[in-house]
Amino acid sequence: MATTSSLERLRETNRRSITTLLAAEGPMSRADLVRGTGLSRTTVSSLVGDLIASGHVVETADRGRPHKGGSGRPPLLVALSTPGGAVAGVDVGHGHVRVAVADRVGTVLAEEIADMDVDEDGTHALDRAARMVREALAAAGLEPGDLHAVGMCVPAPLDRRSASIQTGILRGWRELSPADELRRRLGVPVFADNDANLGALAELGQGAARGASDLVYVKVASGLGAGIVLGGRLHRGSTGIAGELGHVQVDEHGQVCRCGNRGCLETLVSAPRLVALLQPAYDVPLSIERILALDDAGDAGVRRVLSDAGRAIGRALADLCNNLNPERVVVGGSLGASPSLGAGIRAAVDRFAQPDTAAALTVVSGDLGDRAEVVGAVSLAIARVSV
Amino acid sequence: MATTSSLERLRETNRRSITTLLAAEGPMSRADLVRGTGLSRTTVSSLVGDLIASGHVVETADRGRPHKGGSGRPPLLVALSTPGGAVAGVDVGHGHVRVAVADRVGTVLAEEIADMDVDEDGTHALDRAARMVREALAAAGLEPGDLHAVGMCVPAPLDRRSASIQTGILRGWRELSPADELRRRLGVPVFADNDANLGALAELGQGAARGASDLVYVKVASGLGAGIVLGGRLHRGSTGIAGELGHVQVDEHGQVCRCGNRGCLETLVSAPRLVALLQPAYDVPLSIERILALDDAGDAGVRRVLSDAGRAIGRALADLCNNLNPERVVVGGSLGASPSLGAGIRAAVDRFAQPDTAAALTVVSGDLGDRAEVVGAVSLAIARVSV
DNA sequence: GTTGTTTGTTCTTCTTCCGGACGAATCCCG
DNA sequence: CGGGATTCGTCCGGAAGAAGAACAAACAAC
C-alpha cells in the first residue's frame, strides 16, 4: 500500500520523533534530543541536519547550559522553525462563530467572534466563517495565500465516512459536508470534527488535562456533548458519533429532544434551558455571563439550578466513568467555569460511580474556557497539514 | 529507553508483522506474505529464513495454489510452528473453576471444569485451580515442565498496579493477588485479568466479534460485567477497573449491592437473581440450563423474565453505546445464549440509544458460550509469553 | 596554561531493505 | 510431447540508514 520503503519510513519516523519532541518541550540541544529519543548522536545530528536543510528546524541564536554540572561545551539549541504561513481554526457553535488564525506552531495571531444563529442556515454561517477567516488573516498581517489549512468544529456529530451531518440536530445543515463547503470557499484543506472532540483535544494538549491519557471532556453550552480520550487518543467510535452524553435518556416521559428521542439529558441541561429556567425569577435579562457572575456572588437560585444541572450531568457521567474508568473529567463549554456546576458534577459522580472509580478520578474545570474548541481546531489543522 | 538499535527494531517489527499475519490467517506462502505486508519478496524471504532458523516458523509439507489462475509454480506454505510446551487458561467464576491446557498456538488440548463456591475462600480455590492445571496437563500427555505460562480470569475488577482485588465483590479474596498466588503454586508466570475482559478478547479473536474494532462484550452470569474493546485493543481504564456495567445504578432506592452502592443493575440482573425470581413459579429446581431450555421451549414466564432482564441491560448499554458508538455488542456468559435476553437487549438499545448509534450497531450472542473466558485466558497467556 | 567535561561532526562499518536477474515448478496450448 | 506463460522463491549488487570510533570545539575549574 505505502510505496515508500521501510527504510525511508524508518527515517521518517525518527524525523517525526524529533519534531514532536521539539514541539512538546520547546527548543533543546541535539544532546537533549539524543537523550529524549534514544537515538545515537550521529543519527540525531544527521536528522537535525536534514530538518534544518528542509527548513523545518532552525538553530537558535542563544546557547543552552550543559547537561550535567556547569562544565562542558555549551550546546547549540535547535527549535522548530515557524514555517511560513498560517492555519486557522473555526469554531461554529449554535449561537456564534469564532475564528482564530495561528502560526504553524499554534500561536494564535488573531481571533474573531461573531454572534449569529447558526442552526437555520448552514450556507450563510459558512459564508460568514470564510469571511471571518480572511479578516483575521488580514488582521494578523498575512496574505490569503499564507493560509495552509483549516480545522473546524461543528456542534453536531459528524459521520466518519461522509463527513456530513446526519442527525437532525442542526436543522439547516442536513446532508451538508461542512468541511467540503468551507474548503470550496477558502481553497485550502479543511478538517472538521465535533466540538466536544476538539475541546477535549485542546484541554489535553494545552489545558487542564495535560498529561492525562484517559479523559472525558464534557462540554456544557448550547448543547451537551462529550469528547472522550482513551489511551491518549480521541475515541470517535465506529461511525464517528461517539460522545453523545447529552442524548442519554434521563426521563422516559420527558420532553422531546431535537435528536428525535425524548427525555435526553440535553433537554434538561443546556445553557439556553438553564437561562429559560432562571429568567422568570429575575428582573434583568439573563445571559450566561450574568449567570456565572451571580453564581460567583452566591445567588441562591442560580447556585441551586447550576448545582442541580451538575448533578444531572454527574449522574450520567458516573455511569460512563464506571465503564471507562478515566483519570480525569474536564468540564468545559460556556458554563464549564461555574463552581456550582462543577461541585454538582463532582457530588453526583461520587454518589453514583463505584467508590474505586470515583477515587481514581479528578473533576476539574477546563483551562481554556470558551476558547477550547477553536484552540482544538487550530491543533487539528496543524496536526493534519503535511509536514 | 530501548537499548536496541533502530535498525534491529525495524527488523523486529517486520518479523512481527509476518508472525501476526501467520497467526491471523493461518499457513500461507511467502508470496502471500509479500502481498499482506507490503514488504519486498527479498525481505520476506530473508525474514522467513530467519524465522525458520530460529524455529518460530516451519515450511509445511503440502503446497498451495498459485495466486491468480491455476498457472505458475505452486507456493511453499509456511506456518507458525507449534513451539514446544503448552500454556494454560484458568477461568475462576463465582461458582466454578474451568481450566484449559493448550499448545502455544491456542489449540486446546484438555479442559476441566469443577463446580465450587469460589467466593468464600480464595486460597482454597487457587489450590484447586493449580491441581486442575496439573491434571489437565497430564490428560494432554504433557509434563509439568512443559507449561510456559498461565492466563487467568477472576470475576472481579483487578487493580492495575497492585494486580490485587480491591473491591469487596469477592469476600474471600480481599487484598489477594491471584496471579502471584497461582504463580507460587505453579512456578510459571501467571497473568490475570477480569473475566469480561478476557471474554471480550476471546470473542474478538475467535468468536462473534472477529474483525470488529470497537466492541462491547457483556457478560451475563453470576455477575454482570463488560469488556470494552476500542480500536482493537482492550480498554482497561486508568486503574484497570473499566467495564463495570453491572454497577451502574438503575434504582436509587434499590437493594444494597455487594459493591457497597445500592440499586446497581447487577442487583436486578444476574443469573442467581433470575433463578431466584423464577423459582417460586416452578415445581422443579431451576438451573441455568433448565431456564435456557424453557426459554427455547417458549415458556411464557421465563421469556418474560429474561426479556425484562435484557431490557434492563439494554437500557444501561444504550447509554454506553451513545458514548462509545461501538460496532458490535456481544452477549456472553452463561445466559448469553438466551434469545429472549438478546431480543430484550436489542429492543432496549434501539429504544434508548440514538437512532444513528443503534443503526451502526449489531447485537449478537457470543460464539464461545461458557468457554469464552477460558479461551481468552489462553490467548492472554500466549500473548504475554515471550516469543 | 592544563585538565576535564560536554557537545557536535566526520569517517567507517554494519545492518536492513529493495530491485533485477535467474532457476524452479506448474499449467496451457499447440 | 515440447515450448511459452505464469507464479514462486532465491541470489547478487546496490542504496539508505543507523551506530561506533575518533576528533575538533567550547567552556569551567584548577
Q: Specify the CATH number of the domain A6-80.
A: 1.10.10.10
Mean pLDDT for chain B? Answer: 89
Same fold, A6-80 and A86-198+373-384: no
Assess contact for B326 and A238: CB atoms under 8 A. yes
Using DSSP's 3-state secondary structure scheme, residue A239 falls into coil
Average pLDDT of span B133-159: 91
Look-up: residue for cell 461511525? A239
List CB contacts (< 8 A) between A214 and chain B: 237-238
Assess contact for B361 and B353: CB atoms under 8 A. yes
Q: Is the pLDDT of residue A68 over 80?
A: no
Distance from CA(A10) to C1'(D15), angstroms, rounded? 15
Assess contact for A63 and A123: CB atoms under 8 A. no
What's the number of CA atoms in the CB half-sphere (13 Å) around residue A270? 19
Cβ of B63 less than 7 A from strand C: yes
* pLDDT digits 0-9 by tens, B151-194: 999 888 887 665 566 555 556 666 678 899 999 999 999 999 99
Predicted model pTM:
0.83
Listed by start position, the domains of chain A span 6-80, 86-198+373-384, 212-366
What's the number of CA atoms in the CB half-sphere (13 Å) around residue A375? 19
Assess contact for A385 and A354: CB atoms under 8 A. no
Q: Is the pLDDT of residue B340 over 90?
A: yes
The fold adopted by the segment(s) B208-366 is Nucleotidyltransferase; domain 5 (3.30.420)
Alpha carbons B358 and A253: distance in angstroms, whole number: 20
The neighbour count for residue B252, using CB atoms within 10 Å, is 10
* pLDDT digits 0-9 by tens, A8-54: 889 999 999 999 898 888 889 999 999 988 899 999 999 999 999 98
Mean pLDDT for chain A? Answer: 89
Q: Is the pLDDT of residue A367 over 90?
A: yes
Write phi, then psi, for B188 (nearest 5 degrees): -130, 160
Rama region for A55: left / alpha / beta (φ>0; ψ in -120 to 50; rest):
left
* pLDDT digits 0-9 by tens, B324-336: 999 999 999 999 9
The A residues from 291 to 330 touching B (CB cutoff 8 Å) are 316, 318-320, 322-327
Q: Which of B365, B361, B367 lies closest to B349 in space, CA to CA?
A: B361
CA distances (Å), origin B350, targets A296, B319, B346, B385: 42, 11, 6, 42
Side chain identity, residue B109: L
**CA gyration radius for chain A?**
23
What homologous superfamily is domain A86-198+373-384 in, according to CATH?
Answer: ATPase, nucleotide binding domain (3.30.420.40)
The CATH number for A212-366, chosen from 3.30.1200.10, 3.30.420.40, 3.20.20.140, 3.30.413.10, is 3.30.420.40
Write phi, then psi, for A22 (nearest 5 degrees): -65, -40
Look at residue B104 in the predicted model and tell me its pLDDT.
Answer: 81
- Reading the block at residue B350, the C-alpha cell is 434501539
Q: Contact A354/B241, CB-based, under 8 Å?
A: yes
- Reading the block at residue A270, the C-alpha cell is 443546556
Alpha carbons B74 and B70: distance in angstroms, whole number: 9
Distance from CA(A147) to C1'(D18), angstroms, rounded? 37
Q: Contact B323/A226, CB-based, under 8 Å?
A: yes
Pick from B7, B240, B245: CB nearest A323: B245
Q: Is the pLDDT of residue A333 over 70?
A: yes
Assess contact for B286 and B275: CB atoms under 8 A. yes
> What single DSSP character describes residue A61?
E
Closest chain B C-alpha to A148 CA, distance in angstroms: 30
pLDDT tier for residue B2 given thresholds of 50, 70 and 90 = very low
> What single DSSP character describes residue A87?
E
Q: Which of A99, A106, A107 lies closest to A185 in space, CA to CA?
A: A99
Q: Which of B186, B109, B107 lies closest to B152 in space, CA to CA?
A: B186
Write phi, then psi, for A339 (nearest 5 degrees): -65, -35
Assess contact for B315 and B353: CB atoms under 8 A. no
